[in-house]
Amino acid sequence: MSWLPNGTVYGALLNQRSEYEALAPHMHDAPYKAPPKAPVLYVKTANTFNPDGGTIALPARVAEVEVGATVGLVMGEQGRVRGCVLLNDVSIPHASVYRPPVKFKCLDGFLGLGTEVREVDPAAVQIEVRVNGELRETVRFDDLVRDPARLLAEVGEFMTLGEGDVLMLGCDASRPRAKVGDRIELRSAALGTVSHTLVEEAA
């Protein structure tokens, strides 16, 4: 039986160092004119949840999507992490630094879900991203802007994560892109595999 979140799924922007460094030159632009002092979060709503082996329907206006291979920390009781899960945080390409990217990230089926939660060290996780069998990216989690403990602590300063909630650790800057007809597969020795096929949205 496939795993499904039973809480809220949050993503963290600018937590992979490559993404932070790529966007750093724009952080001093208006209106904020400074880098963020706290974690920048967004929500992946329940309509995005897409179990392993499913299809992701792209609206006609969307030519391609970004593949966001990441690790989700699944919360247990009393604010402890129960384990980690492999996730594909699919997104329409966009250049927003601070604004909540809901319209780019919360389309139906835009969160590919790993099959199970495992107790692993996130820093030891590597994810291979393959599109139509071709290796397009390898993602690591041993050099985050905020490591998992620090990210959880700083998020906890302004909100409470409850049992079943999921906090994603962020996506690399060089996210591969895929289009209708492509098969996306994420592989991790620590967390298993998850795959989806992109199809046209029904008229």
149 lies in a domain?
yes
Q: What is the pLDDT of residue 145?
A: 96
The answer to whether the predicted template modeling score (pTM) of the entire model surpasses 0.85 is yes
Q: What is the pLDDT of residue 32?
A: 77
98 lies in a domain?
yes
Instruction: Tell me how far CA of residue 117 lies from CA of 31, 79, 94, 97, 142, in angstroms.
Output: 40, 16, 30, 30, 19
Detail the DSSP E strand segments found in the chain.
Answer: 9-13, 40-44, 49-51, 55-58, 65-66, 69-75, 81-89, 111-113, 126-131, 134-140, 166-168, 177-178, 183-188, 192-200
196 lies in a domain?
yes
3 lies in a domain?
no
26 lies in a domain?
yes
2 lies in a domain?
no
Over the stretch 76-118, which tens digit does the pLDDT of each residue have? Answer: 998 899 999 999 999 999 876 556 678 899 999 999 999 999 9
Q: What is the dihedral of CA 78, 120, 118, 71, to 10 degrees?
A: 90
Over the stretch 125-173, which tens digit does the pLDDT of each residue have? Answer: 999 999 999 999 999 999 999 999 999 999 999 999 999 999 999 999 9
At 118 the three-state DSSP class reads strand
Peptide bond preceding 5: is omega within 30 degrees of 0, i.e. cis? no
1 lies in a domain?
no
Q: What is the pLDDT of residue 25?
A: 86
174 lies in a domain?
yes
Structure tokens, 83: 């384990």
Q: What is the pLDDT of residue 94?
A: 83
Domain CATH for 51: 3.90.850.10
Over the stretch 14-29, which tens digit does the pLDDT of each residue have? Answer: 999 999 998 888 888 8
Number of independent structural domains in the chain: 1
Over the stretch 57-80, which tens digit does the pLDDT of each residue have? Answer: 999 999 999 999 999 999 999 889
Instruction: Look up the domain containing 187 and give its range.
Output: 9-200
